[in-house]
Amino acid sequence: MGLYNIVGASSLVAGQPEDVGQVLANYQAIQAVLNGGIDDINIRASAAISASKLNAYPNDQTKYLAGDGIWRVPGTAPTRTPGTHIFTASGTFTTPANARAILVECLGGGGTGGQAQTGSQAYWAVGAGGWGGDYAVSLIQSPAASYGVIVGAGGVAIPSGGTAALGNNGGDSVFGASAVLAKGGRGGTQDQFGAGGPHTVNIQPAQSGSIGDFVTNGGMPGIGFHQSGNMLVGGRGGAGAAPYGGPGALEVTAAGGTAGGNAPGGTAPNTRGAGSSGSTAGNYSAGCSAVAAGTAGIVVVTVFY
């Protein structure tokens, strides 16, 4: 208990009637503390307090006071939410009671490969693959009560027909107000070629802007390739970044010398954060080959008590 000044020389004047009122006020302050007003700050660390004085003491020697503030029978553990929370869809993470820290891991969605198009006998076209999604991880100590969670979708599929297009970027995976952010994989490029060769379609650089204590880009995709009209290769999709990502779609090939020598871009099923491959279009092709979507990312939260 803190010390109380019964007679404060600075506030009292000898022989004046207010002395009695000041003394009474000091006594009333002490009375308030002694009648249930004692709090943690007024208890010394060395104070010998009986367990029976603690809140909800059960008067049962078979029980102990657990870390969650509940009196329990030995051998029964405090009830706690499982330590790992996996988000495969966007939602809300609620921090369990007594959590001291959380480890947040985000994987972005994979990008879509480039879409090839040719409508002429003399031309061939190929697309490069889409990048895999980035990985970002952070340790958050003394976490807030809740956080919004966004799981990045895979880059949107591109249907056949129409005109050639760059691949679509994968969606970003985000925890909280950008406390942790993993960028989605960038979409693939595409190009069209005349006679001769060989020709290549190079990839775009990876997206930047991931946020975390540690971040790494997703897997690099493959280039598109045309070999003198005889072989068309759509670049493979990039792998989602480790530890939760997986391989992207394999490259696709078509014989460029045959009429309508097309191969649609594909994606790897059940693989997190993977990019799809670029498509190809041979001579006499009526339009664009379709390109499949990239795959979605994931958010994993591990709780420490």
Tokens encoding 86: 């996996």
Please check the confidence at residue 199 and state whether its pLDDT lies above 50: yes
Of the candidate ranges 61-75, 100-114, 156-170, the one whose mean pLDDT is the lowest: 61-75
Compare 16 and 262 and report the one with higher pLDDT.
Answer: 262
Residue 201 and residue 225 in contact, taking contact as beta carbons nearer than 8 Å: yes
Compute the average pLDDT of residues 137-148.
96
Please check the confidence at residue 221 and state whether its pLDDT lies above 90: yes
Compute the average pLDDT of residues 175-197.
91
Please check the confidence at residue 87 and state whether its pLDDT lies above 60: yes
Compute the average pLDDT of residues 166-182.
96
What percentage of the chain has pLDDT greater than the value 90? 50
Compare 70 and 142 and report the one with higher pLDDT.
Answer: 142
Q: How far is CA 29 from CA 3, 26, 38, 41, 168, in A?
A: 11, 5, 12, 16, 71
Tokens encoding 188: 């693939």
Tokens encoding 180: 């942790």
Bond preceding residue 269 cis, omega within 30 of 0 = no
Amino acid at 250: L
Q: In this predicted model, what pLDDT tens digit does every residue of 25-56 receive, in sequence order?
A: 766 666 665 665 566 666 777 777 776 777 66
